Amino acid sequence: MRRIPVAPVLLLTLTAYLAGCPQSDDVAGDTDVAGDTDVADDTDQVADTDVAGDTDLGDTDDTDVAVVIDLDNDGIPAADDCDDTNSDLGGPEVPYDGFDNDCTPSTPDDDLDDDGLLLADDCDDENALIGRTEVVYDGLDNDCDPITLDDDLDGDGFVLADDCDDEDDTMGGPEVVGDGVDNDCDGAIDCADPSVPQGNLVGDLDASGLPTFCDVDACRSITGNLLLDNYGGANLADLSCLTAVSGDVTISNSPSLTSLRGLEKLDHVGGSMVLQDDIHLASLDALESLTHVDGSSLELKGLLALVDLRGLHRATAVGYLFNVQGCDALTSLDGLDSLLSQNIVRIADNDRLTSVAGFDVLTSVASLYFYNNDALQTLDGFPPLTQLYNLTVSENDSLTNITALNTVTSVSGNVRIANNVLLTDAVAQALVDGIGSIGGTVTVSGNQ
């Protein structure tokens, strides 16, 4: 074989080139993966495994970084995001935003207190007892409106625990004397209630005893008579506790008296009641509690300023005689709403009386007298009666119509139709002829 000589210059050049190549110090157990590019001075450590595509930098302790995925950019990694395609979903529930943020339908987005009301209709969405119409007596402001009452619905100052009727502001507290209401719901009214202090004066009471009469008791009666003649007061306020008088009540000749204020509690009179010649007394309104007069009469005489009888609207019986006489300002009998029956009714000498209406429930009268009522034109409005003991219609200068008496079928005593200057005798006689039975005398005369 022939040897080919190598030139010394070429050998030197190759040696120099090899001397400049980088040297790798791979440690036992290191596995380079395809695509790994070692950089100068890179020292792979034992058991280091390079991942495909990893480029190791010139350090001595290479740590590979994990890649974080968050496709919807809501700051929540895909691994923790229940919907990584919607940035409104994936975190904890956000109330009232209209989204199921935590992808859990059972987590409420609205109506957090589960009372069936959405926030728009719920004034407190953290408390299921608050947020709807007020529920009375539960101790809560259900509608978040302090003005809406939860208790004391009638506004009388008494809560339900102390109020026997929380729908009526006149009932629920202690008995209030004189208001006609059973305030404490015990079945007894005003001075009939045993819880109200009671008192009684034995003997007669006159004007000298008035100032101290009600000093002790809220309700006080008189076993005796009330006698006020020429009384100088304008009213009877000192008698504000008076409930009953067993004897007579007489108030007369008292020109200063303009009102019966003070008698609002007077329920009954055992004897007669006479109001006479109290010329400035204009109203009976203070007799609003009077239910009956048991004696011989209730007489209203010479009360020149009296305009109506409305204070007698509760009276069911007013003695043997009911007499309204000489009350020149009286124009009607309005106010006798409860009078059921009467022995004698006398309506006389009332110059301005134009109507006898007012006896709304009267069904029985023994004797009936109408006379000297100069302005009275008709008896219309007087209740229909069938039987009388006596009947007198006389000296009523303006009277032309008596047809209200056509219902009378029997008079056991006398009939007198006389001296009514505008009423014809023919009309009077027709009335008499229509009465089937008359036991006494008949007088028809002096009419037109």
Position 32: which residue type? D
Distance of CA 93 to the CA centre of its chain: 47
According to the model, what pLDDT value does residue 157 have? Answer: 78
Read off the tokens for 422.
Answer: 């505008």
Phi, psi (5° rounding) for residue 215?
Answer: -65, -30
Position 413: which residue type? G
Q: What is the largest CA-CA distance in the chain?
A: 196
Read off the tokens for 229.
Answer: 């003649």
The pTM of this model reads: 0.64
Q: Which residue has the higher pLDDT, 289 or 160?
A: 289
Run of H or E including 11: helix 8-19
Q: Which residue has the higher pLDDT, 407 or 77?
A: 407
Q: Which residue has the higher pLDDT, 302 or 118?
A: 302
* Lowest-pLDDT choice from 48-57, 64-73, 154-163, 420-429: 48-57
Read off the tokens for 376.
Answer: 């009275």
Q: Which residue has the higher pLDDT, 30 or 300?
A: 300
Work out the number of other CB atoms within 10 angstroms of the CB of residue 248: 20
Within 13 Å, how many C-alpha atoms sit on residue 169's CB side? 6
- DSSP secondary structure, 366-429, as one string: EEEEEE--TT--B-TTSPP-SEESEEEEE--TT--B-GGGTT--EESS-EEEE--TTS-HHHHH
Each residue of 338-396: pLDDT tens digit? 999 999 999 999 999 999 999 989 999 999 999 999 999 999 999 999 999 999 999 99
Is 62 in contact with 48 (CB distance < 8 Å)?
A: yes
Residue 300, beta-bridge partner list: 275, 324
Q: What are the residue boundaries of the structural domains of the chain, listed by start?
A: 200-445
DSSP-derived 3-state class of residue 169: coil
DSSP label at 79?
G
Position 441: which residue type? T
* Lowest-pLDDT choice from 45-49, 163-167, 180-184, 382-386: 45-49
Q: Give the CA-trace dihedral at 199, 205, 210, 212, to 10 degrees.
A: -40
Burial per residue of 136-175, b for 16 or more beta-carbon CB atoms within 10 angstroms, e otherwise: eeeeebbbeeeeeebebbbebebeeeebebbeebebbeeb
Q: Which residues have CB under 8 Å from 54's CB, separation 6+?
A: 33, 36, 64
Is 402 in contact with 427 (CB distance < 8 Å)?
A: yes
What CATH number was assigned to the domain covering residues 200-445? 3.80.10
Q: Is the pLDDT of residue 36 over 90?
A: no
Q: What would the mean pLDDT of 39-63 be, rounded to a whole number?
A: 49
Mean of the per-residue pLDDT values for the chain?
82
According to the model, what pLDDT value does residue 110 have? Answer: 60
Position 3: which residue type? R
According to the model, what pLDDT value does residue 144 have? Answer: 73
Q: Is the pLDDT of residue 116 over 80?
A: no
